[in-house]
Structure 1
Amino acid sequence: MKNSKQLMLMFAMIMMMTILAACGTSNNDSANDKETANGDEKKVLTMGTSADYPPFEYVETSKSDEIMGFDIDVAKAITQKLGYEFKVKDIDFNGLVPSLENGTVDFVLAGMSPTEERKKTVDFSDIYYKSNHMIVTKADSKIKGAKDLKGATVGVQLASIQEGIAKDLKKDGIDLTIENRNRIPDLVQEIKAGRFDAAIIEDTVAKGYLEDNPDLAGYLIETDTKTEEAGSAIAFQKDSELTEKFNTELKKMMENGEMEKLILKWFGGETAK
Protein backbone atom coordinates (compact mmCIF):
# COMPACT_ATOMS: atom_id res chain seq x y z
CA MET A 1 0.00 0.00 0.00
CA LYS A 2 2.83 2.30 0.90
CA ASN A 3 4.57 1.51 -2.41
CA SER A 4 1.35 2.19 -4.24
CA LYS A 5 1.06 5.61 -2.58
CA GLN A 6 4.68 6.38 -3.44
CA LEU A 7 4.08 5.44 -7.06
CA MET A 8 1.00 7.66 -7.21
CA LEU A 9 2.96 10.55 -5.67
CA MET A 10 5.79 10.09 -8.17
CA PHE A 11 3.30 9.97 -11.04
CA ALA A 12 1.65 13.20 -9.84
CA MET A 13 5.03 14.93 -9.62
CA ILE A 14 5.95 13.82 -13.15
CA MET A 15 2.62 15.13 -14.47
CA MET A 16 3.16 18.47 -12.71
CA MET A 17 6.66 18.81 -14.19
CA THR A 18 5.30 17.99 -17.64
CA ILE A 19 2.61 20.67 -17.35
CA LEU A 20 5.11 23.27 -16.17
CA ALA A 21 7.46 22.40 -19.01
CA ALA A 22 4.62 22.76 -21.51
CA CYS A 23 3.71 26.16 -20.09
CA GLY A 24 7.31 27.26 -20.35
CA THR A 25 7.45 26.13 -23.96
CA SER A 26 4.22 27.96 -24.72
CA ASN A 27 5.58 31.19 -23.25
CA ASN A 28 8.81 30.86 -25.20
CA ASP A 29 6.88 30.30 -28.41
CA SER A 30 4.85 33.44 -27.76
CA ALA A 31 8.00 35.44 -27.22
CA ASN A 32 9.47 34.07 -30.43
CA ASP A 33 6.27 34.91 -32.28
CA LYS A 34 6.44 38.44 -30.92
CA GLU A 35 10.06 38.78 -31.92
CA THR A 36 9.24 37.51 -35.40
CA ALA A 37 6.35 39.93 -35.69
CA ASN A 38 8.65 42.88 -35.02
CA GLY A 39 11.67 41.71 -37.00
CA ASP A 40 12.73 40.92 -40.54
CA GLU A 41 11.23 37.42 -40.38
CA LYS A 42 7.68 38.76 -40.26
CA LYS A 43 5.66 37.59 -43.26
CA VAL A 44 2.40 39.46 -42.72
CA LEU A 45 2.05 43.24 -42.47
CA THR A 46 -1.12 45.02 -41.40
CA MET A 47 -1.98 48.16 -43.35
CA GLY A 48 -4.18 50.79 -41.79
CA THR A 49 -6.46 52.84 -44.05
CA SER A 50 -9.75 54.75 -44.04
CA ALA A 51 -11.85 53.13 -46.74
CA ASP A 52 -14.02 56.14 -47.54
CA TYR A 53 -11.66 57.87 -49.96
CA PRO A 54 -12.21 56.76 -53.57
CA PRO A 55 -10.26 56.16 -55.69
CA PHE A 56 -7.51 55.81 -53.04
CA GLU A 57 -9.37 53.30 -50.86
CA TYR A 58 -13.06 52.41 -50.80
CA VAL A 59 -15.61 49.60 -50.83
CA GLU A 60 -18.19 48.96 -53.55
CA THR A 61 -20.82 47.64 -51.19
CA SER A 62 -23.07 46.59 -54.07
CA LYS A 63 -20.42 44.13 -55.24
CA SER A 64 -18.44 43.00 -52.17
CA ASP A 65 -16.93 44.00 -48.84
CA GLU A 66 -13.42 44.08 -50.29
CA ILE A 67 -11.43 47.30 -49.89
CA MET A 68 -9.96 48.40 -53.22
CA GLY A 69 -8.27 51.41 -54.75
CA PHE A 70 -5.01 53.05 -55.74
CA ASP A 71 -3.42 52.79 -52.29
CA ILE A 72 -4.37 49.12 -52.04
CA ASP A 73 -2.62 48.38 -55.35
CA VAL A 74 0.47 50.33 -54.25
CA ALA A 75 0.59 48.37 -50.99
CA LYS A 76 0.15 45.04 -52.79
CA ALA A 77 2.96 45.84 -55.22
CA ILE A 78 5.44 46.88 -52.54
CA THR A 79 4.72 44.14 -50.01
CA GLN A 80 4.88 41.47 -52.71
CA LYS A 81 8.26 42.73 -53.90
CA LEU A 82 9.55 42.69 -50.31
CA GLY A 83 8.28 39.15 -49.71
CA TYR A 84 5.44 40.03 -47.34
CA GLU A 85 1.76 39.24 -47.33
CA PHE A 86 -0.48 42.04 -46.12
CA LYS A 87 -3.94 42.55 -44.69
CA VAL A 88 -5.99 45.73 -44.50
CA LYS A 89 -7.64 47.22 -41.42
CA ASP A 90 -10.31 49.88 -41.95
CA ILE A 91 -10.05 52.68 -39.36
CA ASP A 92 -11.50 56.19 -39.12
CA PHE A 93 -8.91 58.62 -40.49
CA ASN A 94 -8.31 60.35 -37.17
CA GLY A 95 -7.48 56.98 -35.61
CA LEU A 96 -4.81 55.95 -38.11
CA VAL A 97 -1.79 57.62 -36.52
CA PRO A 98 -2.70 56.40 -33.00
CA SER A 99 -3.15 52.87 -34.41
CA LEU A 100 0.33 53.10 -35.89
CA GLU A 101 1.80 54.37 -32.64
CA ASN A 102 0.28 51.57 -30.53
CA GLY A 103 1.26 48.85 -33.00
CA THR A 104 -2.24 47.91 -34.16
CA VAL A 105 -1.02 48.41 -37.74
CA ASP A 106 2.45 48.24 -39.32
CA PHE A 107 2.00 51.02 -41.85
CA VAL A 108 -0.65 53.48 -43.03
CA LEU A 109 -1.56 54.06 -46.67
CA ALA A 110 -4.54 56.41 -46.79
CA GLY A 111 -3.79 59.39 -49.01
CA MET A 112 -2.13 60.91 -45.93
CA SER A 113 -0.05 64.09 -46.14
CA PRO A 114 3.23 64.16 -44.17
CA THR A 115 2.55 67.26 -42.07
CA GLU A 116 5.06 68.57 -39.54
CA GLU A 117 2.62 67.75 -36.74
CA ARG A 118 2.34 64.10 -37.83
CA LYS A 119 6.10 63.81 -38.24
CA LYS A 120 6.46 64.35 -34.50
CA THR A 121 5.06 60.88 -33.81
CA VAL A 122 5.48 58.84 -37.03
CA ASP A 123 7.88 58.57 -39.97
CA PHE A 124 6.91 58.97 -43.62
CA SER A 125 8.04 57.57 -46.94
CA ASP A 126 8.78 59.72 -49.95
CA ILE A 127 5.75 61.35 -51.62
CA TYR A 128 4.08 58.87 -53.98
CA TYR A 129 1.20 61.04 -55.25
CA LYS A 130 0.46 64.77 -55.41
CA SER A 131 -2.88 66.50 -55.81
CA ASN A 132 -4.74 69.72 -55.07
CA HIS A 133 -7.74 70.63 -52.94
CA MET A 134 -11.25 71.62 -53.90
CA ILE A 135 -14.22 73.46 -52.41
CA VAL A 136 -17.34 71.36 -52.93
CA THR A 137 -20.71 73.08 -52.66
CA LYS A 138 -24.19 73.01 -54.18
CA ALA A 139 -24.26 73.83 -57.89
CA ASP A 140 -26.57 76.81 -57.29
CA SER A 141 -24.42 78.19 -54.46
CA LYS A 142 -22.81 81.63 -54.64
CA ILE A 143 -19.58 80.10 -53.36
CA LYS A 144 -17.06 80.00 -56.23
CA GLY A 145 -13.78 80.27 -54.34
CA ALA A 146 -12.07 80.58 -50.96
CA LYS A 147 -13.03 84.24 -50.45
CA ASP A 148 -16.70 83.32 -50.81
CA LEU A 149 -16.47 81.12 -47.71
CA LYS A 150 -16.87 84.16 -45.46
CA GLY A 151 -19.75 83.45 -43.09
CA ALA A 152 -20.08 79.87 -44.39
CA THR A 153 -20.15 76.58 -42.50
CA VAL A 154 -17.43 74.45 -44.03
CA GLY A 155 -17.04 70.71 -43.52
CA VAL A 156 -13.70 68.86 -43.39
CA GLN A 157 -12.58 65.36 -42.54
CA LEU A 158 -11.38 65.10 -38.95
CA ALA A 159 -7.56 65.24 -38.56
CA SER A 160 -7.06 65.72 -42.32
CA ILE A 161 -4.84 68.17 -44.21
CA GLN A 162 -8.08 69.83 -45.36
CA GLU A 163 -8.91 70.64 -41.75
CA GLY A 164 -5.59 72.47 -41.56
CA ILE A 165 -6.36 74.34 -44.78
CA ALA A 166 -9.71 75.50 -43.37
CA LYS A 167 -7.98 76.74 -40.22
CA ASP A 168 -5.39 78.58 -42.33
CA LEU A 169 -8.16 80.28 -44.30
CA LYS A 170 -9.69 81.41 -41.03
CA LYS A 171 -6.33 82.76 -39.86
CA ASP A 172 -6.06 84.67 -43.14
CA GLY A 173 -9.19 86.61 -42.23
CA ILE A 174 -11.96 84.52 -43.82
CA ASP A 175 -14.57 84.26 -41.08
CA LEU A 176 -15.91 80.72 -41.52
CA THR A 177 -17.25 78.04 -39.22
CA ILE A 178 -15.41 74.72 -39.36
CA GLU A 179 -17.27 71.45 -38.82
CA ASN A 180 -15.55 68.05 -39.01
CA ARG A 181 -16.77 64.53 -39.69
CA ASN A 182 -15.05 61.16 -39.69
CA ARG A 183 -15.86 60.21 -43.29
CA ILE A 184 -16.01 61.96 -46.66
CA PRO A 185 -19.53 60.67 -47.53
CA ASP A 186 -20.75 62.37 -44.35
CA LEU A 187 -19.43 65.72 -45.64
CA VAL A 188 -21.22 65.30 -48.96
CA GLN A 189 -24.46 64.33 -47.24
CA GLU A 190 -24.28 67.37 -44.97
CA ILE A 191 -23.92 69.66 -48.02
CA LYS A 192 -26.87 68.04 -49.79
CA ALA A 193 -28.95 68.33 -46.62
CA GLY A 194 -28.13 72.03 -46.35
CA ARG A 195 -26.34 71.78 -43.02
CA PHE A 196 -22.95 72.64 -44.58
CA ASP A 197 -22.48 75.42 -47.12
CA ALA A 198 -19.37 73.73 -48.49
CA ALA A 199 -16.64 71.21 -47.78
CA ILE A 200 -12.94 71.09 -48.57
CA ILE A 201 -11.96 67.77 -50.15
CA GLU A 202 -8.92 66.55 -52.08
CA ASP A 203 -9.61 67.22 -55.77
CA THR A 204 -9.09 63.66 -57.00
CA VAL A 205 -11.60 62.38 -54.45
CA ALA A 206 -14.00 65.30 -54.96
CA LYS A 207 -14.23 64.68 -58.72
CA GLY A 208 -15.71 61.25 -58.10
CA TYR A 209 -18.46 62.68 -55.92
CA LEU A 210 -19.14 65.48 -58.43
CA GLU A 211 -19.65 62.93 -61.20
CA ASP A 212 -22.19 61.06 -59.07
CA ASN A 213 -23.93 64.21 -57.81
CA PRO A 214 -24.77 66.70 -60.59
CA ASP A 215 -26.38 68.98 -58.00
CA LEU A 216 -22.88 69.68 -56.60
CA ALA A 217 -20.03 71.81 -57.97
CA GLY A 218 -16.32 72.03 -57.18
CA TYR A 219 -13.69 74.77 -57.33
CA LEU A 220 -9.93 74.36 -56.93
CA ILE A 221 -8.35 76.46 -54.21
CA GLU A 222 -4.82 77.80 -53.83
CA THR A 223 -3.21 77.32 -50.43
CA ASP A 224 0.00 78.23 -48.68
CA THR A 225 0.53 74.64 -47.63
CA LYS A 226 4.21 73.87 -47.24
CA THR A 227 5.83 71.85 -50.02
CA GLU A 228 6.78 69.01 -47.68
CA GLU A 229 3.13 68.65 -46.66
CA ALA A 230 1.80 68.49 -50.21
CA GLY A 231 0.90 65.09 -51.60
CA SER A 232 0.49 61.63 -50.09
CA ALA A 233 3.07 59.48 -48.30
CA ILE A 234 3.15 56.17 -46.42
CA ALA A 235 3.33 56.43 -42.62
CA PHE A 236 5.36 54.13 -40.35
CA GLN A 237 6.25 53.85 -36.71
CA LYS A 238 9.21 55.98 -35.65
CA ASP A 239 12.56 54.47 -36.73
CA SER A 240 10.86 51.58 -38.50
CA GLU A 241 13.08 49.55 -40.84
CA LEU A 242 10.14 49.40 -43.23
CA THR A 243 10.51 53.08 -44.17
CA GLU A 244 13.76 52.58 -46.10
CA LYS A 245 12.56 49.31 -47.63
CA PHE A 246 9.33 50.88 -48.91
CA ASN A 247 11.19 53.95 -50.20
CA THR A 248 13.49 51.72 -52.23
CA GLU A 249 10.54 50.03 -53.90
CA LEU A 250 8.67 53.30 -54.41
CA LYS A 251 11.68 54.70 -56.24
CA LYS A 252 11.82 51.65 -58.50
CA MET A 253 8.10 51.95 -59.26
CA MET A 254 8.52 55.62 -60.16
CA GLU A 255 11.48 54.89 -62.44
CA ASN A 256 10.14 51.80 -64.25
CA GLY A 257 6.70 53.27 -64.98
CA GLU A 258 4.78 50.97 -62.66
CA MET A 259 3.47 53.85 -60.55
CA GLU A 260 2.41 55.72 -63.67
CA LYS A 261 0.35 52.69 -64.76
CA LEU A 262 -1.44 52.59 -61.41
CA ILE A 263 -2.14 56.34 -61.61
CA LEU A 264 -3.60 55.90 -65.10
CA LYS A 265 -5.69 52.96 -63.87
CA TRP A 266 -7.26 54.77 -60.92
CA PHE A 267 -7.28 58.44 -61.90
CA GLY A 268 -8.50 58.21 -65.47
CA GLY A 269 -5.38 59.39 -67.24
CA GLU A 270 -4.23 61.97 -64.68
CA THR A 271 -0.55 61.97 -63.77
CA ALA A 272 1.18 63.05 -60.60
CA LYS A 273 1.87 66.79 -60.51
Structure 2
Amino acid sequence: MQISPKIFIYLLLAITLFGCSKSTNPNEQLKEDNSLSKIKERGHLIIGTSADYAPREFHMVIDGKDTIVGYDIDIAKEIAKDMGVELKIKDMSFEGLLPALNAEHVDMVVAGMVPTPERLEAVDFSITYGKSTDVNDGQKLVIKTKDKDLYTSIESLTDKKLGVQKSGLQEQIAKSQVSNAKIIYLTKIPNMVMDLKMGKVDAIILASDVAKNYVNKNPDLYITDIPLTQETKGTGIAFKKGNSQLVKQTNSTLERLMSDGSMDTIIEKNEKIVEDLNNK
Protein backbone atom coordinates (compact mmCIF):
# COMPACT_ATOMS: atom_id res chain seq x y z
CA MET A 1 0.00 0.00 0.00
CA GLN A 2 1.37 3.37 -0.99
CA ILE A 3 1.10 6.35 1.40
CA SER A 4 0.38 9.68 -0.25
CA PRO A 5 3.02 12.39 0.21
CA LYS A 6 0.53 14.50 2.20
CA ILE A 7 -0.24 11.71 4.70
CA PHE A 8 3.48 10.87 4.95
CA ILE A 9 4.25 14.47 5.95
CA TYR A 10 1.49 14.37 8.62
CA LEU A 11 2.90 11.11 10.04
CA LEU A 12 6.45 12.46 10.05
CA LEU A 13 5.29 15.61 11.85
CA ALA A 14 3.40 13.58 14.48
CA ILE A 15 6.44 11.35 15.15
CA THR A 16 8.69 14.40 15.46
CA LEU A 17 6.32 16.16 17.89
CA PHE A 18 5.95 12.99 19.99
CA GLY A 19 9.71 12.60 20.19
CA CYS A 20 10.21 16.23 21.19
CA SER A 21 7.64 15.91 23.96
CA LYS A 22 10.01 13.65 25.85
CA SER A 23 12.64 15.68 27.73
CA THR A 24 16.21 14.79 26.93
CA ASN A 25 17.49 17.01 29.76
CA PRO A 26 18.48 14.74 32.70
CA ASN A 27 17.90 17.62 35.11
CA GLU A 28 14.24 17.56 34.17
CA GLN A 29 13.90 13.87 34.92
CA LEU A 30 12.22 13.39 38.27
CA LYS A 31 14.48 11.49 40.62
CA GLU A 32 12.99 9.38 43.36
CA ASP A 33 13.58 11.01 46.75
CA ASN A 34 15.01 8.37 49.08
CA SER A 35 16.86 10.84 51.32
CA LEU A 36 15.01 9.82 54.46
CA SER A 37 14.79 6.06 53.83
CA LYS A 38 18.51 5.94 53.04
CA ILE A 39 19.33 7.37 56.48
CA LYS A 40 16.96 4.99 58.24
CA GLU A 41 18.45 2.00 56.43
CA ARG A 42 21.96 3.16 57.30
CA GLY A 43 21.00 3.62 60.94
CA HIS A 44 22.63 7.00 61.50
CA LEU A 45 22.22 10.64 60.48
CA ILE A 46 25.38 12.50 59.46
CA ILE A 47 25.43 16.24 60.06
CA GLY A 48 28.07 18.74 59.05
CA THR A 49 28.95 21.59 61.40
CA SER A 50 31.69 24.07 62.23
CA ALA A 51 32.13 23.71 65.97
CA ASP A 52 33.53 27.12 66.89
CA TYR A 53 30.21 28.88 67.35
CA ALA A 54 29.23 28.69 71.02
CA PRO A 55 26.54 28.36 72.24
CA ARG A 56 25.36 26.77 68.98
CA GLU A 57 28.17 24.27 68.41
CA PHE A 58 31.47 24.09 70.25
CA HIS A 59 34.03 21.72 71.75
CA MET A 60 33.87 20.77 75.41
CA VAL A 61 35.72 18.15 77.45
CA ILE A 62 33.24 15.72 79.01
CA ASP A 63 34.57 12.83 81.12
CA GLY A 64 38.02 13.47 79.70
CA LYS A 65 36.84 13.30 76.09
CA ASP A 66 36.65 16.14 73.58
CA THR A 67 32.96 16.40 72.66
CA ILE A 68 31.01 18.63 70.29
CA VAL A 69 28.06 20.17 72.13
CA GLY A 70 25.71 23.16 71.77
CA TYR A 71 22.08 23.84 71.12
CA ASP A 72 22.30 23.07 67.39
CA ILE A 73 23.76 19.69 68.36
CA ASP A 74 20.94 19.05 70.85
CA ILE A 75 18.44 19.91 68.12
CA ALA A 76 20.20 17.52 65.73
CA LYS A 77 19.93 14.80 68.38
CA GLU A 78 16.17 15.38 68.53
CA ILE A 79 15.94 15.14 64.73
CA ALA A 80 17.87 11.85 64.77
CA LYS A 81 15.73 10.53 67.62
CA ASP A 82 12.53 11.25 65.70
CA MET A 83 14.00 9.32 62.75
CA GLY A 84 14.92 6.42 65.01
CA VAL A 85 18.64 6.61 64.18
CA GLU A 86 21.92 7.61 65.82
CA LEU A 87 23.65 10.95 65.25
CA LYS A 88 27.13 11.31 63.75
CA ILE A 89 28.90 14.68 63.52
CA LYS A 90 31.49 15.87 61.00
CA ASP A 91 33.35 19.01 62.08
CA MET A 92 34.85 21.12 59.30
CA SER A 93 35.46 24.70 58.20
CA PHE A 94 32.33 26.76 57.61
CA GLU A 95 33.19 27.40 53.97
CA GLY A 96 33.48 23.65 53.36
CA LEU A 97 30.02 22.77 54.65
CA LEU A 98 27.86 23.32 51.57
CA PRO A 99 30.36 21.65 49.20
CA ALA A 100 30.38 18.64 51.56
CA LEU A 101 26.57 18.64 51.55
CA ASN A 102 26.28 18.70 47.77
CA ALA A 103 28.94 15.99 47.51
CA GLU A 104 26.76 13.89 49.88
CA HIS A 105 29.48 13.60 52.51
CA VAL A 106 26.88 14.78 55.03
CA ASP A 107 23.08 14.54 55.10
CA MET A 108 22.45 18.05 56.40
CA VAL A 109 24.28 21.12 57.65
CA VAL A 110 23.50 22.29 61.18
CA ALA A 111 25.75 25.28 61.81
CA GLY A 112 23.84 28.48 62.51
CA MET A 113 23.43 29.02 58.78
CA VAL A 114 21.17 31.79 57.49
CA PRO A 115 19.10 30.90 54.38
CA THR A 116 20.18 33.80 52.19
CA PRO A 117 18.87 34.09 48.61
CA GLU A 118 22.29 33.02 47.29
CA ARG A 119 22.36 29.89 49.44
CA LEU A 120 18.76 29.05 48.54
CA GLU A 121 19.84 28.80 44.91
CA ALA A 122 22.34 26.09 45.85
CA VAL A 123 20.59 24.12 48.61
CA ASP A 124 17.24 23.69 50.35
CA PHE A 125 16.54 24.85 53.90
CA SER A 126 14.32 23.90 56.81
CA ILE A 127 12.08 26.41 58.50
CA THR A 128 14.06 28.91 60.54
CA TYR A 129 14.35 28.52 64.32
CA GLY A 130 15.72 30.22 67.44
CA LYS A 131 14.50 32.46 70.24
CA SER A 132 14.88 35.85 68.54
CA THR A 133 13.26 36.88 65.27
CA ASP A 134 14.26 40.56 65.44
CA VAL A 135 15.77 41.31 62.02
CA ASN A 136 18.27 43.78 63.51
CA ASP A 137 19.34 41.57 66.42
CA GLY A 138 21.00 38.92 64.34
CA GLN A 139 24.51 40.31 63.73
CA LYS A 140 26.75 42.50 65.90
CA LEU A 141 29.93 44.51 65.44
CA VAL A 142 32.52 43.67 68.08
CA ILE A 143 35.43 46.01 68.79
CA LYS A 144 38.04 46.48 71.50
CA THR A 145 36.63 48.10 74.63
CA LYS A 146 39.17 50.92 74.45
CA ASP A 147 37.75 51.88 71.02
CA LYS A 148 34.09 52.17 72.06
CA ASP A 149 34.15 55.98 71.81
CA LEU A 150 35.95 55.79 68.48
CA TYR A 151 33.53 53.52 66.62
CA THR A 152 30.00 54.78 67.25
CA SER A 153 28.42 54.60 63.79
CA ILE A 154 28.65 52.62 60.59
CA GLU A 155 30.35 55.62 59.00
CA SER A 156 33.13 55.56 61.62
CA LEU A 157 34.20 52.16 60.23
CA THR A 158 34.77 53.46 56.70
CA ASP A 159 38.11 52.22 55.34
CA LYS A 160 38.67 50.10 58.49
CA LYS A 161 39.74 46.46 58.64
CA LEU A 162 36.83 44.11 59.34
CA GLY A 163 37.28 40.45 60.24
CA VAL A 164 34.62 38.09 58.88
CA GLN A 165 34.17 34.35 58.57
CA LYS A 166 34.73 33.31 54.97
CA SER A 167 31.52 32.32 53.16
CA GLY A 168 29.45 33.51 56.11
CA LEU A 169 26.59 36.03 56.15
CA GLN A 170 28.95 38.49 57.84
CA GLU A 171 30.98 38.74 54.62
CA GLN A 172 27.92 40.01 52.74
CA ILE A 173 27.07 42.49 55.50
CA ALA A 174 30.61 43.90 55.55
CA LYS A 175 30.61 44.36 51.77
CA SER A 176 27.15 45.92 51.52
CA GLN A 177 26.88 48.00 54.70
CA VAL A 178 30.39 49.26 55.53
CA SER A 179 31.82 51.73 53.04
CA ASN A 180 35.16 50.68 51.52
CA ALA A 181 35.74 48.06 54.21
CA LYS A 182 39.06 46.25 54.10
CA ILE A 183 37.79 42.72 54.65
CA ILE A 184 40.01 40.16 56.35
CA TYR A 185 38.79 36.59 55.73
CA LEU A 186 39.27 33.89 58.37
CA THR A 187 37.79 30.39 58.63
CA LYS A 188 37.52 30.09 62.42
CA ILE A 189 35.80 32.43 64.90
CA PRO A 190 38.53 32.11 67.60
CA ASN A 191 41.08 33.32 65.04
CA MET A 192 38.90 36.34 64.28
CA VAL A 193 38.66 37.17 67.98
CA MET A 194 42.43 36.81 68.43
CA ASP A 195 43.12 39.09 65.46
CA LEU A 196 40.84 41.72 67.00
CA LYS A 197 42.55 41.48 70.38
CA MET A 198 45.97 41.77 68.71
CA GLY A 199 44.93 44.79 66.64
CA LYS A 200 45.19 43.06 63.26
CA VAL A 201 41.58 44.11 62.54
CA ASP A 202 39.54 47.04 63.83
CA ALA A 203 36.27 45.15 64.27
CA ILE A 204 34.66 41.77 63.64
CA ILE A 205 31.10 40.79 62.81
CA LEU A 206 29.50 37.94 64.75
CA ALA A 207 26.02 36.52 65.30
CA SER A 208 24.48 38.13 68.38
CA ASP A 209 24.56 35.07 70.66
CA VAL A 210 28.11 34.21 69.63
CA ALA A 211 29.25 37.81 70.15
CA LYS A 212 27.82 37.82 73.68
CA ASN A 213 29.71 34.64 74.50
CA TYR A 214 33.10 36.00 73.44
CA VAL A 215 32.57 39.41 75.05
CA ASN A 216 31.52 37.79 78.34
CA LYS A 217 34.84 35.99 78.62
CA ASN A 218 36.95 38.84 77.17
CA PRO A 219 36.44 42.12 79.08
CA ASP A 220 38.70 43.88 76.60
CA LEU A 221 36.05 43.33 73.90
CA TYR A 222 32.85 45.32 73.41
CA ILE A 223 29.60 44.86 71.44
CA THR A 224 28.64 48.10 69.70
CA ASP A 225 25.14 49.46 69.23
CA ILE A 226 25.84 50.06 65.55
CA PRO A 227 22.86 48.56 63.66
CA LEU A 228 23.49 45.90 61.03
CA THR A 229 20.58 44.81 58.88
CA GLN A 230 20.02 41.11 58.36
CA GLU A 231 17.50 40.69 55.56
CA THR A 232 16.74 37.05 56.33
CA LYS A 233 15.37 36.21 59.77
CA GLY A 234 16.64 33.30 61.81
CA THR A 235 18.86 30.36 60.95
CA GLY A 236 17.97 27.07 59.34
CA ILE A 237 19.26 23.62 58.48
CA ALA A 238 20.58 23.08 54.95
CA PHE A 239 19.89 20.08 52.69
CA LYS A 240 20.91 18.98 49.22
CA LYS A 241 18.40 20.12 46.60
CA GLY A 242 15.56 17.66 46.12
CA ASN A 243 15.76 15.96 49.55
CA SER A 244 12.20 17.00 50.30
CA GLN A 245 11.35 14.02 52.53
CA LEU A 246 14.33 14.81 54.77
CA VAL A 247 13.33 18.49 54.90
CA LYS A 248 9.76 17.52 55.82
CA GLN A 249 10.91 15.18 58.60
CA THR A 250 13.27 17.83 60.01
CA ASN A 251 10.61 20.54 59.91
CA SER A 252 8.32 18.25 61.88
CA THR A 253 10.90 18.01 64.67
CA LEU A 254 11.61 21.74 64.65
CA GLU A 255 7.91 22.55 64.82
CA ARG A 256 7.49 20.19 67.78
CA LEU A 257 10.42 21.74 69.65
CA MET A 258 9.11 25.26 69.08
CA SER A 259 5.49 24.51 69.86
CA ASP A 260 6.07 22.74 73.19
CA GLY A 261 8.71 25.17 74.49
CA SER A 262 11.59 22.70 74.18
CA MET A 263 13.48 24.98 71.77
CA ASP A 264 13.85 27.76 74.35
CA THR A 265 14.80 25.22 77.02
CA ILE A 266 17.53 23.73 74.80
CA ILE A 267 18.93 27.14 73.88
CA GLU A 268 18.88 28.47 77.44
CA LYS A 269 20.56 25.31 78.77
CA ASN A 270 23.48 25.73 76.39
CA GLU A 271 23.72 29.46 77.03
CA LYS A 272 24.06 28.62 80.74
CA ILE A 273 26.78 26.03 80.00
CA VAL A 274 28.78 28.64 78.09
CA GLU A 275 28.22 31.25 80.80
CA ASP A 276 29.49 28.82 83.47
CA LEU A 277 32.54 27.96 81.34
CA ASN A 278 33.34 31.66 80.91
CA ASN A 279 33.12 32.24 84.66
CA LYS A 280 35.57 29.47 85.57
TM range (shorter): 0.7 to 0.9
Aligned-pair CA distance for 1:40? 4.7
Q: How many residues in Structure 1 have an aligned counterpart in Structure 2? A: 231
Matching residue of 1:56: 56
Aligned-pair CA distance for 1:166? 0.4
1:259 aligns with 2:263: yes
Matching residue of 2:164: 156
Report % sequence identity. 37
Matching residue of 1:8: none
Matching residue of 1:216: 221
Asked whether the equivalents of residues 165 and 187 of structure 2 are also in contact (C-alpha less than 8 Å), the reply is yes
d(CA) in 2 for partners of 1:267 and 1:36? 31
Within a 5 Å distance, the mapping from 1:93-132 to structure 2 comes to 93-129=94-130, 130=132, 131-132=137-138
Within a 5 Å distance, the mapping from 1:1-273 to structure 2 comes to 38=38, 40-60=40-60, 64-129=65-130, 130=132, 131-141=137-147, 142-170=150-178, 174-226=179-231, 229-240=232-243, 241-268=245-272
Deviation string 1:173-216 (CA, Å, 9 cap, x unpaired) is x2221111001001110011111011011110011111111111
Return closer, same or farther for 1:36/1:119 CA change in 2, 3 Å cut-off.
closer
Return closer, same or farther for 1:220/1:94 CA change in 2, 3 Å cut-off.
farther
Question: SS state of the match for residue 72, structure 1?
Answer: helix
Q: Which moved more, 1:149-158 or 1:34-43?
A: 34-43
Give 5+ residue unaligned stretches, structure 1.
Answer: 1-33, 269-273
Aligned-pair CA distance for 1:224? 3.7
Return closer, same or farther for 1:246/1:150 CA change in 2, 3 Å cut-off.
same
TM-score computed with the length of structure 2 as normaliser = 0.77
Q: Which moved more, 1:115-124 or 1:213-222?
A: 213-222
Aligned-pair CA distance for 1:36? 9.5
One-letter amino acid of the counterpart of residue 73, structure 2? I
One-letter amino acid of the counterpart of residue 140, structure 1? K
Aligned-pair CA distance for 1:48? 0.2
d(CA) in 2 for partners of 1:36 and 1:191? 43
Q: Which moved more, 1:95-104 or 1:40-49?
A: 40-49
Question: SS state of the match for residue 159, structure 2?
Answer: coil
d(CA) in 2 for partners of 1:152 and 1:242? 43
What's the RMSD between the two structures over aligned residues?
2.1
Aligned-pair CA distance for 1:57? 0.4
Aligned-pair CA distance for 1:221? 3.8
d(CA) in 1 for partners of 2:205 and 2:92? 21
Aligned-pair CA distance for 1:43? 1.6
Asked whether the equivalents of residues 139 and 230 of structure 2 are also in contact (C-alpha less than 8 Å), the reply is no
d(CA) in 2 for partners of 1:35 and 1:78? 14
Asked whether the equivalents of residues 49 and 96 of structure 1 are also in contact (C-alpha less than 8 Å), the reply is yes
One-letter amino acid of the counterpart of residue 76, structure 1? K
Q: Which portions of structure 1, spanning 4 or more consecutive aligned residues, are displaced by more than 4 angstroms?
A: 34-37
Question: SS state of the match for residue 120, structure 1?
Answer: helix
d(CA) in 2 for partners of 1:182 and 1:125? 24
One-letter amino acid of the counterpart of residue 199, structure 1? I
Return closer, same or farther for 1:83/1:175 CA change in 2, 3 Å cut-off.
same
